[in-house]
Chains A and B, each alone.
Chain A
Amino acid sequence: MRIVKRTKLAPVWSVALYAAAAVASLGAAAALIAIAGAPVGDSLSALASGAVGSPAAAIDSLVKAAPFILTGFATCIAYRAGFWTVGQEGQVLAGGAAAWQASLWTSGLPPALSIALCILAGMIGGGALAGLAAWLKIRFAMSEIVSTVMLNYVVFYALSWLISGPWMASGDTASYQQTSVLPQDLWLPDIFGIADLHMGVILVAVALVWLYLVLSRAALGYEIRAMGLNATALSQRGVSLSKLIFKIMLISGAVSAVAGFIETFGVNHRLTGDNLSGLGYEGIIVALIGRLTPVGTLLAGLFFGALHNGALFMNVMTGVPTALVETLQGIVLILFLVVGVAGHFRVEWSKQP
């Protein structure tokens, strides 16, 4: 028996391998639920019906998925270029915070204009944070992995100071860690008057189309892919790598920031730390499972958004902790990565020579 590298993988095998990974993930979910001492069948059916069991549940799932589809897109842009940022988490917080600050500055303006300025401010906030990591990379050759992780912690503590101090809701104590509620005319309106389906979801659709077109058609998309494949060759063609890194990071940070904006203005209607944390890391997982393509990221994001939403219902029904979904995301990603490798090998049975 020996293991031989395949040159090309038959689609049937590819489908079979991914199906096996999906079954294994389901098995892992069942095992985890059993460990928690909850009924497996009831919990899984509560998970499913909480996710897509009714139109209202499906809408909630979509809204839940929206922010980390955005951070997933932000991940696609950077990782395609071989720029390993982990800063999406901090950029979501920075985006939410900057948008909140803008809502204070623009009070009195027409609501539509004020909201537009808040988005812009959020994107500038997230972009600036990402730009800082790009600058540290270009000026000091600092690994973006290290700088963005460290900046995530710095931003986390900065936000925690802001919302338990200067921006704290009047009448609250510092332990609430939240601002007061936004004026109601700044809340993102619902699409077609459907409850909870806020306009931020449209931004996700816009971002999807834009990202797809940029990556497949635009010169920038070509440069992004070329930088990921061979940065040296790209620079020898006369492309300034530092400018490109800046451009990619500013875009990636701004897209992440929009996630912070829509959660703050569309869902929570106030700035809180708890509801924004984790969205950046979710996006990285979703983008990696979606193989760094816009459509793959969208599908993975919708799937895990549904699971996150379903898990809330499951928690009420059978008491299974919602962290089941975070655990599953890790397991699914590992299985997909392994399957991706396994697909390129085949076992050849032969007699001993």
Chain B
Amino acid sequence: MSFLDNTMLISIFAMTLATATPLILSAIGELMTQRAGIWNLGVEGTMLTAAFTAYAVVLATGSLGLATLAAVAAGCLVGALTAALTAGLKLDQFVIGLTINLLASGLTLYLFRASGTNLDTSGLNSFAPVAIPGLSKIPFIGAVLFDQPLLTYVAFALIPAAWLFLYRTRVGLDLRVLGENPRVLETRGVAVMPRLWAATIAGSAMTGLGGAFLMLDLSDRFTPDMSAGRGWLVVVALVAGNWSLFGTLAAILCFALLDAIASFGQVLSLPVPYEFLLAMPYLASIVILTVFRSRSGQPAQLGIPYTGK
């Protein structure tokens, strides 16, 4: 059997891209939020809320489009709450992030149990892969890269778009200045507060989109705390990537690969306990942080409440 026919390898790499999708979407959003100086640690809770919303809507309507929209709206809502408490009331950003995670965990579990439909998930719709004509026929690469759900293409297409936005547009420059020295914007007559809100809500909307993918593609049912640390991995990826777009993405692809290997762990019959494979992304995150220790890209105002007008 030649390397290119290795179906297991194809499955693992294709799975890596799928597992990476919610993380990439969320990380692009969180990068915007953190570059604006808001240290949003509620990513985990935001993603979970969005995933639950997607579950509830797809169960009620059967429409994947509506469910995705609703998940993004839920993300916006949690983002608005985060913005109100951090930018608006200037509460401690660590405490708020933690609180949002715990509230989301409790509320989604409560609503899930209260809905009483937890067993009837047989008919849940999920995203279908969209094979790109021609390209998907390329041996190996085609099956890995070009036979993915639509949102996976969107996530990867957003990477260069996010780079162009952050580093080649005026608004992107302003966003970065917001996290470094908001007084500069103030003296230019730019209203700082609305931009802080916008950065937080937009970031959470992206995490919401990630939550929709998590629910509608990576799982076939809602389970309590199904975000399972993915939101935290996004936060870690930003730190490990030193708040650069491509560094963050490299960390995410590493986590996603380990996650994909774990999901095929029982088929691969590796000589380690299955739980060890499941713990790999989290162990790897600690190892990565001991190696990539530069914090030079950390926004100067990260986590510090803006006290101007």
Task: Please give the residue numbers on chain A whose beta carbons come within 8 Å of chain B beta carbons, in ascending order.
Answer: 32, 35-37, 84, 86, 136, 139-143, 145-147, 149-151, 153-154, 157-158, 160-161, 164-165, 281, 284-285, 288, 320-321, 323-331, 333-334, 337-338, 341
Contacts and interface: CB of A to CB of B under 8 A. Distances in A.
Nearest to B95: A288
Given A161-B275, A285-B102, A146 B289 contact: yes
Interface of B: 41, 85, 89-91, 94-96, 98-100, 102-107, 109-111, 113-114, 229, 232, 235-236, 239, 273-276, 278-279, 282-283, 285-286, 289-290, 293, 295
A160 B275 contact: yes
In terms of DSSP, what is the predominant structure of the interface of chain A? helix
A86 B98 CA distance: 9
Contact of A136 (B100, B105, B290): B290
Contact of B105 (A160, A325, A326): A326
B278 A140 contact: no
Given A145-B41, A160-B275, A326-B109, A150 B102 contact: no
A154 B275 CA distance: 9
A330 B102 contact: yes
Contacts of B295: 141
A158 B275 contact: yes
Chain B: interface secondary structure? helix
Given A140-B289, A154-B282, 18 more contacts: A32-B110, A36-B110, A140-B290, A146-B236, A146-B239, A149-B229, A153-B282, A157-B276, A160-B275, A281-B105, A321-B114, A323-B109, A327-B103, A327-B107, A328-B106, A330-B99, A331-B103, A334-B99
A140 B111 contact: no
A136 B273 CA distance: 26
25 contacts: A36-B114, A139-B290, A140-B293, A142-B289, A146-B285, A150-B282, A150-B286, A151-B286, A157-B275, A157-B279, A157-B282, A164-B275, A284-B98, A284-B102, A321-B114, A323-B106, A324-B110, A325-B106, A326-B106, A328-B106, A330-B106, A334-B85, A337-B89, A337-B91, A338-B85
Given A337-B91, A341-B89, A341-B91, A150 B236 contact: yes
A320 B114 contact: yes
B293 A141 contact: yes
Contacts of A333: 99, 102-103
A333 B42 CA distance: 15
Contacts of B273: 161, 165
A86 B99 CA distance: 12
B110 A327 contact: yes
B103 A330 contact: yes
A341 B90 contact: yes
A300 to B, nearest CB: 14
Contacts of B111: 35
